[in-house]
Amino acid sequence: MEQIIANPMALLVMVGIVSIACQYLAFMLKLPAILPLLLAGLLLGPMTGVLDPDALFGDLLFPLVSLAVAIILFEGALTLKFSDIAGHGTMVRNLCSIGALVTWLIATPAAHFALGMPMHLAALFGAIVTVTGPTVIVPMLRSVRPNSRISNILRWEGIVIDPIGALLAVLVFEYIVVSHGALEHALVTFLKVLAIGFGIGSLMGYFLGTLLRKNWVPHYLRNTAVLTLMLGAFAASNLMTHESGLLTVTVMGIWMANMKDLDLDDILEFKETLSVLLISALFILLAARLEFSTIAQLGWGALLVLVAIMFVARPISVFLSSPGSGLNWRELAMLSWIAPRGIVAAAVSALFALKLESIGLAKSELLVPMVFLVIIGTVVFQSLTSKAVAKLLGVRAPYPNGYLIFGGGKFARMLAKDLMDKDIPVRIADTNWDAIREARMENIPTYYGNPISEHASLTMDLSNVGKVLVLSPYKQLNPLVTYHFEHLLGKGTVLGLSQGTPEGRASHRVSEEYAKRLELFSESASYSRLASLVAKGATIRTTGITESFTAEDYKEKYGNRATRLYAVDPNGKIQIYTTSHELALKEDWQIVSLIAPEETVERAEVTA
């Protein structure tokens, strides 16, 4: 252990390994990753002394944290589309404006009076804790399972408010920096920061967006070019006006997110990998810098601040944001209960604290432990209690009976429409825009993109999804989708189409374990066969089983023309046909099959 402590390279590698281990543990336990990362940081830092970030990085600590936070804020701002704010209702818009302002105005005096923070520092703390976090909200929603209206509002609030809250915190921080000490023209300096931040941010955002839109950069350099030019703008802005860089990169991201005809999907995908690495390592380093003596300094005043944020600021902000939302009091109460803080609050607070300590602002050492306490308190308390509160209020969604269909081919769209006609929630996900466009034209809910991406995990509502049907031709992506959703939803919840006999799939060999999951409909129901039947005019039909028309009569009438898809029992429950589960049809059941035209079967028999 002493050799590791004395070796900087070994320490850096250890942080990387521990951060990935924490992410994997959170994935397996279905917990917010922030909890194991925090525990790991405390264990390596103040508890054992193995990791001392200040000794490890020295004078480079502040620049490294600054660059990491700049990347996090820029990537977060890339997701802030103004159309999303308008497109997700009055409540989301109000929570991200009125609600954030209310939280700031309540948290600021609470920190000032309860902790003795100077008003400037308390205002910065109040701005930082306006930010909820999608990375902690989404795992909580999966466990609590509130109704779709509450779930969508909380999910989109977490996504939209990240850059807005960060922008507010940056503005307050800039004001503190320029007004601290005997600066004669503090207001002029602050206005200069705003001018540089918004000016350079807008110009660089437009320049980068034009660069990407006109394909002036080779595709393989797009991600690297965006990252390096963004960091260049950050550094240049700081050189022109001290500490204006964070404002610049936030404005850059928002500008690019709202440019027309600019495809940022590959940039956002790159962000997923980068943000997991940065956020995980950064959080461990920040937690390792905490000192128990500083945490003890907070005293009982810290609990008063936490109570004010959770039980005063949040309910008032929800109530003032509710006019015109159409939500009842039970839904508003549930929204008031859930507002966990996440990694952005922690990263921003640590960066600001480093800077404020260097300029000698009183009580600045309290900023990080207080923000961390708010994160721990909201995440732990709300994770443990929200399910019970949702049951008490009667706002939990019913047991999920919906279907996520991966693949938007014609057969998948036909099946989705048939399920929707029976009032079964359905969503189609596909990476092919043409398939998604066709589905949208048929009014089928869709998700365009990779359904196992981070973007999908944050934005795609799975609260009513009980099963996933893999109906895509993407043989390399299908297994990843299968294992991802089987872990997320449980064993037996994901079904895929057969790939034919082992001899027929030599070029795309699959493991026996995965092959057992390819049992949807029948052994002959491969993607190519279903697509061929549909192309030849096959249709999906629903037939009732009665005393006068039994299952045997059905088999005699349709024979080989019918590919059985699912059955509906008298209670309206769907039973999917699989190769391992034969359904015993009774009276008052309905059977749904893909029926091939008679001439298709006759032609096949003649050919044989």
* The residue type at 31: L
- Residue 126 is predicted with a pLDDT of 92
63 CB-contact burial (10 Å; exposed 0-12 / middle 13-18 / buried 19+) = exposed
| Nearest C-alpha neighbor of 161 from the set 99, 75, 90 | 99
More confident residue, 550 or 529: 529
Q: Are 250 and 77 in contact (CB under 8 A)?
A: yes
pLDDT score for 291: 79
Average pLDDT over every residue of 545-571:
82
The CA distance from 98 to 554, in Å, is 61
- For the chain, the domains span 61-393, 402-607
**Residues 6 or more apart from 378 whose CB is under 8 A from it?**
306, 309, 310, 339, 340, 341
Task: Determine contact, residues 409/472, Cβ cutoff 8 Å.
Answer: yes
Predicted pLDDT of residue 315? 94
497, 530 Cβ separation under 8 angstroms: yes
Residue 7 or 203, more confident: 203
Yes or no: say if 324 and 146 are a contact pair by the CB < 8 Å rule.
no
Closest of 156, 155, 160 to residue 142, by C-alpha: 155
DSSP string, 143-159: HH-B-HHHHHHHHHHHH
What is the bridge-based pairing of β-strands 590-595 and 562-568?
Answer: antiparallel
Q: How far apart are CA 598 and CA 583, in angstroms?
A: 25
Rounded to a whole number, what is the distance in angstroms from the first to the last CA of the chain?
72
Report the 3 state secondary structure along 455-506: HHHHHCCCCCEEEEEECCCCCCCHHHHHHHHHHHHCCCCEEECECCCHHHHH
CA distances in angstroms from 246 to 66, 71, 175, 292, 443, listed in the order given = 8, 9, 13, 30, 41
User: How far apart (Å, rounded) are the C-alpha atoms in residues 559 and 356?
Assistant: 78
Q: Which residue in this structure is represented by tokens 């809250």?
A: 165
Could you write out the DSSP letters of every residue in 148-202? HHHHHHHHHHHHHHHHHHHHHHHHHHHHHHHHSSS-TTHHHHHHHHHHHHHHHHH
- pLDDT class of 461 with cuts at 50, 70, 90: confident
Q: Where is average pLDDT lowest: 183-192, 368-377, 481-490?
A: 183-192
Could you write out the DSSP letters of every residue in 278-346? HHHHHHHHHHHT--HHHHHHHTHHHHHHHHHIIIIIHHHHHHHH-TTS---HHHHHHHHH---B-HHHH
Nearest one of 468, 466, 447 to 458, comparing CA atoms: 447
**Residue 506: band (very low, low, confident or very high) from pLDDT cuts 50, 70, 90:** very low
How many angstroms separate the CA atoms of 462 and 445, rounded?
12
Nearest partner of 404 among 344, 493, 465, judged by Cα:
465
Q: Is the pLDDT of residue 224 over 60?
A: yes
What is the pLDDT averaged over residues 108-128? 90
**Looking up tokens 């039970």, which residue turns up?**
330
**Residue 47: other Cβ atoms inside 10 A:** 12
Please write the tens of the pLDDT for every residue from 8-31: 888 888 888 998 898 888 878 777
390, pLDDT greater than 60: yes
Higher pLDDT, 106 or 554: 106
Residue (of 291, 201, 316, 293) closest to 247 by Cα position: 201
pLDDT, mean of residues 80-93: 68
- Yes or no: domain 402-607 corresponds to CATH 3.40.50.2300: no
Confidence band of 405 (pLDDT split at 50, 70, 90)? very high
Alpha-carbon torsion (280, 285, 290, 292), positive or negative = positive
48: left (phi over 0), alpha (psi -120 to 50) or beta: alpha
pLDDT tens for each residue of 278-334: 778 888 888 888 877 777 777 888 899 999 999 999 999 999 998 888 888 999 999
- Proportion of the chain above pLDDT 70, given as a percent: 89
Tokens of 58: 């020295």
Mean predicted confidence (pLDDT) in 136-144: 78
- Alpha carbons 384 and 506: distance in angstroms, whole number: 49
Look-up of token digits 């432990």? 369
What pTM was estimated for this model as a whole?
Answer: 0.72
Cα–Cα distances (Å) from 505 to 475, 476, 499, 519, 578, in that order, read 10, 13, 7, 15, 20
In this prediction, residue 84 carries a pLDDT of 57
pLDDT score for 423: 86
Mean pLDDT over the full length of the chain: 82
Which of the given ranges, 129-143, 381-395, 558-572, has the highest pLDDT on average?
381-395
Q: Is the pLDDT of residue 256 over 50?
A: yes
CB 237 within 8 A of CB 161: no
pLDDT in tens, 153-209: 887 787 777 767 777 887 788 778 777 654 445 567 677 778 888 899 999 999 998
How would residue 238 be classed by pLDDT, with cut points 50, 70 and 90? confident
Tracing tokens 């026996």 back to the chain, one arrives at 512
How confident is the model over 100-127, as a mean pLDDT? 91
Whether residue 78 is predicted with pLDDT greater than 50 in this model: the reply is: yes
Q: Residue 509 — very low, low, confident or very high, per pLDDT cuts 50/70/90? A: low
Structure tokens at 515: 């092959």
Q: Cα separation of 160 and 96, whole Å?
A: 7
The CA radius of gyration of the chain, in Å to the nearest whole number, is 28
Residue 603 has pLDDT above 60, yes or no: no
Q: Looking at domain 61-393, which of 1.25.40, 1.20.1530, 1.10.3470, 3.30.1360 is its CATH number?
A: 1.20.1530
Question: Which residues make Cβ contacts (< 8 Å) with residue 422, sequence separation at least 6?
Answer: 568, 572, 574
Taking only the tens place, the pLDDT of each residue in 565-587 is 888 888 878 888 888 777 777 77
Tokens of 446: 């869709």
Query: Are residues 19 and 29 in contact, defined by beta-carbon separation less than 8 angstroms?
Result: no
